[in-house]
Every structure is written in C-alpha cells, then in structure tokens.
Amino acid sequence: MDNFRFYVPTDIRFGKDRLATELTDVLDVYGKKVLIVYGGGSIKKNGLYDQVIDLLEKNQNKVVELSGVEPNPRIETVRRGVSLCRENDIDVILAVGGGSTIDCAKVVAAGFYSEEDPWDIIVARKGYQGEALPIVTILTLAATGSEMNAGAVISNLESNQKLGVGGPSMIPKVSFLDPTNTFTVPAYQTAAGSADILSHLFESYFNITEGTDVQDFVSEGLMRAVIKNCPIALETPEDYDARANLMWSSSLALNGLTRNGKHGVWSCHAMEHELSAFYDITHGIGLAILTPRWMDYVLNEKTVTKFAQFAHNVWGINEKDPMHAAKKGIQATYDFFKSCGIPMTLPEVGIEKDKFAEMAKQAVAHSTIKIDAFVPLAESDVEAIYHACLTESSFVY
C-alpha cells in the first residue's frame, strides 16, 4: 500500500427533512449572496426548487441563478457562471442536482478567483491549488460522488474534449443527502447512476498496487450494496432504504476511501470520456457498455487472480477454476447491467465505428493508460475494446 493523505472535510447532512431547519444556517456561514446552480428543470417539477427558493427568500438571501447545466457540463456554462459570480459578488454557490451540476459549480467556484479562462485551468492537467468560492450541495442523483470529493469533469464540444480537474478548495463544504430527492429519478438515470458508482469502484479495485485489502474489501461491500439496491429502486422508486444505500454508496465510492493508498490510472473512464466528448452520451451508460468488454480484454494469467476474487466475493460464484470463475464474474457484470435496462452495445446509443481511431488516439493522449493502467492499453487496444462493444457479448462458453 502506498503512502496517502485522506482529506475529506465535507460536512454530510444525510437524511430526510433537513433543509427547512439547516440550509439557511449553513449558507449564512459564508454570506447572503447565493448563486444557485441547477440543470434542466427536474427540481422544478418535483418541488425542490420552490422549497429552496422559499427558504432563501425568507432568509433574505440575494439569489442569482445559473440554470440549464448540461448532463455533460459544458465549458460555456462554466464561463457563464463565472461571469454571474463576478457581476453579483457572490459569496457562496448552492448546487442543486446531480454530479454534472456539482461539477459545473466546482469549476465556476475556482474560475471566480482565477485570471485564466476556466478551460485553461482544466487543460493544464494539474491539480488546482488556488482559491474557490465555498460550495454547498443538495444532491438529487446517486452517481458521481462529486458531493464529497474534489474532482470535476467538463466537456468542450468544439474540441471534442472531456477532461477532469480538481483541487482541495473545490471540495464541497456541506452536502445535503436526502434520499427522498431521488424518488423521482427516472429508471434509466437510476440505472446509469448505479453503473457510474460501480465503475468508480471497479476502476480502483482493479489496480496495480498490492497489499490493499482494506480498500478492496470495502469496495466489494459497496459493490454488493449497489447490486442489491439498484434493482429494488428500479422496481420500487420510493423505497427509502434502497435509495439511501445507493446515495451513500455514491459518496463513499469516490471520496478517496477505496482509492487512496493506490497508484495507477483508470482505464474505462479514459475510454468513455471520448464517447461522451464526441457523442454527448450519458456517462454511466457508456461505462456500463465498456466495462465488461474491458474486463474480458485484460483478463489473462497475470490478472486472473483479481478477477476470480471479484467473482467469488462480489457475485458469490463458487467456481474453483480461477479463469472460469473470472469469466463468470465478467458475465454476471454484463448481465446485471443489461437486466437494469441499460443498452449494452454502442449502436444502441448512436455510436458506430467511424470515429473509433480518433477516439482511441485521444483516450491515450489524454491519460496515461498506455503506461500505468491495471493493464496498459495502446491505441490499438482501445480500438479493439470499442469494436467489441458493437455487438452483444458472451464471456462464458
């Protein structure tokens, strides 16, 4: 296990009915001028927007709105947010939504203090070390874990790039996690969010660092929690415990708990970011399509032990032969995503092979998967994995 620093100062307010008594007190710590950031309007349909605005108006807050944040938040929206913050001398940002909304808010918060264009902060590919406006979040989708970490991912459709950035000042100060706010999340987005959570766990679990039993066993437990509760939430959207377990799994999957103490980079995210950058698809769906094919592609005599452990401990597969167990675990992963209603081929989400070479080139250029991934991937490897996603797959023969 590597040396590491575990710094997660976010004040989590988990549970129902907490906004009315706690939100304005939390915001008042930072000031009265609030930028509220949200997406396409679902918070207006479910009543959350009216509740928040009513609380802020009664508290005599000055409220400025940045609405319309995209599912893959765009740099143009970030720039608009930075301008709003400067024009209104904003004290605190309130992000109400899922990971895309929170990611956008994070880069707006950093951009407020930077003389650089926000995209220049991102393409520098260095951890952001400057100041940022304080961020408070009200989470409405269990998926990215952005409510409890320093990272953000922003898209630039002009350059077909989707890149990440992060820094200590971008970690939310307080996050309200009320599972009832996810009751109205559509089944497709619930499944996509669960796939995103699982991918965060997979990416850290299948790693080159040895001696990380604590991180791996925690990961396995979180994986089982998602696998158990996602189907329940799909069948019964207002099942509080299912939604609560998905929401808390989202936060713990990417707050450093399962990743710290390890080195090496993620593979499927690097490949999926290109799918989203070129085709603007739902991130979790792209990850679900790619992950089983990547697993099968990198399965070999050196990696089989970890995949067999995954099959045994996560899926309960009792097969003694490690290679056969590993394949059954990969098949179980594929079948789970499919059973959740996720399209499992690229053509189903409008992606054909014409841009595979270009996407593979950028996936390698924008990451170090060719050097220090679980199994290093060259452009030809990434292309092969994309091609495997063109048709339905079977991994156990």
Q: What is the pLDDT of residue 168?
A: 94
- The CATH superfamily label for domain 187-388 reads Dehydroquinate synthase-like - alpha domain (1.20.1090.10)
Instruction: Report the helix count and the strand count for the chain, using DSSP H and E.
Output: 16, 8
Tokens 């053509």: give the residue: 347
Instruction: Measure the CA–CA gap between 148 and 252, rounded to whole angstroms.
Output: 8
Domain map (residue ranges) of the chain: 11-182, 187-388
Residue 316, phi-psi category: left (phi > 0), alpha (psi -120 to 50), beta (remainder): left
A 10 A CB-CB count for 58 gives 9
pLDDT tens digits along 276-303? 999 989 999 999 999 999 999 999 999 9
Give the chain's residues under pLDDT 50.
none
Bridge partner residues of 175 (DSSP): 12, 137
Bridge partner residues of 265 (DSSP): 373
Amino acid at 275: L
Q: Which CATH number fits domain 11-182: 3.40.50.1970, 2.40.110.10, 1.10.800.10, 3.40.50.1700?
A: 3.40.50.1970
CA angle 396, 388, 162 (to 5 degrees): 130
Tell me the pairing of strands 161-166 and 151-156: antiparallel
Q: What is the pLDDT of residue 208?
A: 94
